[in-house]
Amino acid sequence: MITAVRVELLKLRTVRLGYGLLAIPAGLTIVFSILEASRAGTRSGGVAPLNTASGLDSVITGGVWFLIFAAVLGVTVSSGEFRHQTATATYLATPRRGRVLAAKALAAALGGAAFGVAGYLIALGIGLGFVAAKGYPVPIGDATLARYGAGHVLAAALLAAAGAGIGALVRSQLAGVIGVFVWTIIVESVLGGLFTSARPYLPYTAATALAGAPLGGGAFGPAHGASGAAGPLPFAAAAALLAALAAALCAAAARTTVRRDVA
Amino acid sequence: MAAIEVRGLAKRFGRVQAVDGLSFEVARGKVTGFLGPNGAGKTTTLRMLLGLVTPDAGTATIDGRAYADLDEPLHAVGAVLEASGFHPGRTARNHLRIQALAAGADASRVDDVLELTDLAGAADRRVGGFSLGMRQRLGLAAALLADPDILILDEPANGLDPDGVRWLRDLLRGMAAEGAAVLVSSHLLAEVAQTVDEVIVIDRGRLAAQAPLDDMLSTAGPGGSLEEAFFRLTAGNWGAGGSAR
């Protein structure tokens, strides 16, 4: 299994797609976090001052762009084999397809973890830079910042593994990638806005909560900032939800599409 | 034991019976041609042999075991099935590094097979810019990485220039002389006639004939060619020599 994971990681490292998927959220996070930091504490900004935990949270939330792209990375890890017809060579080397899928999910998770690290460091760096520039003390304790960091890494890794399951299920890279964006940007926004009690359990929302974003803070549209009685899932519960989702998607793929003929 | 053994293999895709009760054996120390018209079921048969397509009935084994049950499949079997199975954005060297890692082959084999297939000069180019012939060579390079003693090749001469065809012929003959089993499908009958020791002809998913090349040629009459024998077989006129159905 270790060799199979190393093979999948080598595949990831030897094409440009992964680096491109890393660059896009990096740009988005830089823009989003700088905008939030610039608006913090201003009358029209709607963002709390940077000498408050809420204000710095808003800036760090910019790193959740990497969570979406970690899921996209996962989709490409498995669906790319069919897009480029490389599944034949992969299954000739490792005929046990369940093992291939498990290796892909693990490799995607490791790649996703790197996305989580990048997202957190960029967003945190911008936030702390603005805090320091304004001469404020850091309003969030070290333990909480460490939990946010761990949450970014864990959330991105688990979403990437889930993405690998989605890619194996749909096989079409385009459909899988579009599906991830539609789900995170449209479906969760609508569902989260309409059913606020269910909002904490939506996968992308749970991932952003795991990364330390306020409930709905990483969401789009109606779900963004929508108020409701339900609070964010606790760290362990959010991690368990995402792990269960990734396992369920991979298991479903292993029992269905992964067994199909490679003709 | 035959290196490759196919028994009663069958596969249907929707309304099309692609392979229909096919049986044959491939021995070591020979190059065996696998011939048939378009749609005869050659590629489906090879894919079932390699565990990529699940048969509806029958068995296909390599050294007595299903491909999926081989301990180190790439050490046992080198296969080239399609010239398009490469990520276009990956270099040839990186493609082979991945295959070598997957096969458990020594990384130094990458340079060896790049030299062997005359791709050393293009090793660090992305495969998306390769010609069909270069892709075929890259496929062969990957198949040879783990030094297998069974080769299964689907139309490997497609896109190769005359030098490449000669190189391929010498490679396959050399491997068979060292005791390897080589099964090669092709439409290039004149080239097949110069390369193979044994011929398997299938038509509409069934075995039309399996015979040594010389026996096959003798059925076409004095001075007959493999092409004439092939057309007679696939028109249902095979009647003498070999193990015709």
pLDDT of B53 strictly over 90 = yes
pLDDT of A122 strictly over 60 = yes
pLDDT of B192 strictly over 70 = yes
| Beta strands, E only, B57-180 | 57-62, 77-80, 150-154
- To the nearest whole Å, the CA of B242 is away from the closest chain A CA by 31
B190's tokens: 């004149």
Q: How many domains does chain A have?
A: 1
The whole-number pLDDT of residue A66 equals 95
SS3 at position B202: strand
Task: Quote the CA–CA distance of B193 and B214 in Å, as a whole number.
Answer: 9
- To the nearest whole Å, the CA of A256 is away from the closest chain B CA by 14
Q: What is the dihedral of CA B145, B194, B31, B233, to 10 degrees?
A: 130
Residue A24 Cα distances to A19, A69, A204, A227, angstroms = 9, 8, 18, 30
In the structure, what pLDDT confidence band is assigned to residue B47 with cuts at 50, 70 and 90? very high
Chain A residues with CB within 8 Å of chain B CB: 3-4, 6-7, 10-11, 14-17, 80, 84-86, 88-96, 259, 261-263
* φ, ψ for residue B20, nearest 5 deg: -135, 90
The contacts of residue A209 (CB under 8 Å, 6+ apart) are A200, A215, A232, A233, A238
- To the nearest whole Å, the CA of B208 is away from the closest chain A CA by 24
The whole-number pLDDT of residue A70 equals 96
The whole-number pLDDT of residue B244 equals 40
Query: Could you give the ipTM of this predicted complex?
Result: 0.87
B 15-54: CB under 8 A from A: 44, 47, 50-54
Question: What are the extents of the domains in chain B?
Answer: 4-85+149-234
Using a CB-CB distance cutoff of 8 angstroms, which residues of chain B are in contact with residue A11? 87, 90, 98
- To the nearest whole Å, the CA of A84 is away from the closest chain B CA by 6
pLDDT of A68 strictly over 70 = yes
pLDDT of B219 strictly over 60 = yes
The contacts of residue A109 (CB under 8 Å, 6+ apart) are A74, A157, A158, A160, A161, A164, A246
Using a CB-CB distance cutoff of 8 angstroms, which residues of chain B are in contact with residue A95? 51, 67-68, 70, 73
In the structure, what pLDDT confidence band is assigned to residue B243 with cuts at 50, 70 and 90? very low
In the predicted model, what is the mean pLDDT of residues B171-194? 90
Which residue of chain B has the CA closest to A258?
A: B52
**What percent of chain B is predicted at pLDDT more than 70?**
95
Contact B87 A91 (CB under 8 A): no
The contacts of residue B57 (CB under 8 Å, 6+ apart) are B8, B9, B10, B21
Domain span at A24: 2-259
Q: What is the dihedral of CA A61, A62, A63, A64, to 10 degrees?
A: 70
The whole-number pLDDT of residue A262 equals 84
Task: Quote the CA–CA distance of B31 and B41 in Å, as a whole number.
Answer: 20
The whole-number pLDDT of residue B193 equals 84
Cβ A167 vs Cβ A103: under 8 Å: no
Using a CB-CB distance cutoff of 8 angstroms, which residues of chain A are in contact with residue B75? none
**For the purposes of burial, counting CB atoms within 10 Å of the CB of A214, is it exposed (0-12), middle (13-18) or buried (19 or more)?**
middle
Contact A93 B87 (CB under 8 A): no
Task: Quote the CA–CA distance of B114 and B120 in Å, as a whole number.
Answer: 5
Cα A261–Cα B3–Cα B7 angle in degrees, nearest 5: 55
Contact B81 A88 (CB under 8 A): yes
The whole-number pLDDT of residue B38 equals 85
pLDDT of A196 strictly over 50 = yes
B50's tokens: 């390699």
Q: Which of A153-167, A235-249, B125-139, B231-245 has the lowest mean pLDDT?
A: B231-245
In the predicted model, what is the mean pLDDT of residues B61-89? 91
In the structure, what pLDDT confidence band is assigned to residue B238 with cuts at 50, 70 and 90? very low
Q: What is the DSSP letter of B69?
A: G
Contact A261 B90 (CB under 8 A): no
Assess B74–A contact: CB distance below 8 Å, yes or no: yes
The whole-number pLDDT of residue A229 equals 60
Cβ B166 vs Cβ B156: under 8 Å: no
Query: For B4-85+149-234, which CATH superfamily applies?
Result: P-loop containing nucleotide triphosphate hydrolases (3.40.50.300)
Contact A15 B89 (CB under 8 A): yes
Longest dimension (CA), chain A: 64
Which residue of chain B has the CA closest to A96?
A: B68
Interface test with B, best of A92, A96, A104, A258 (most B CBs within 10 A): A92
Using a CB-CB distance cutoff of 8 angstroms, which residues of chain A are in contact with residue B91? 14
The whole-number pLDDT of residue A259 equals 82
pLDDT of B194 strictly over 70 = yes
pLDDT of A161 strictly over 60 = yes
Using a CB-CB distance cutoff of 8 angstroms, which residues of chain B are in contact with residue A259? 54
pLDDT of A225 strictly over 80 = no
The contacts of residue A135 (CB under 8 Å, 6+ apart) are none
The strand pairing partners of B206, in sequence order, are: B203
Question: Where is pLDDT greater, at A196 or B199?
Answer: B199
Task: Please report where in the chains the tokens 């034991």 appear, as a residue.
Answer: B1
**What percent of chain B is predicted at pLDDT more than 90?**
65
Cβ A72 vs Cβ A180: under 8 Å: yes
Instruction: List the single residue in B73, B85, B91 with the smallest CB-CB distance to A88.
Output: B85
Task: Quote the CA–CA distance of A99 and B45 in Å, as a whole number.
Answer: 25
Neighbour count for residue A136 (Cβ, 10 Å)? 17
Arithmetic mean of pLDDT over chain B: 88
Using a CB-CB distance cutoff of 8 angstroms, which residues of chain A are in contact with residue B90? 11, 14-15
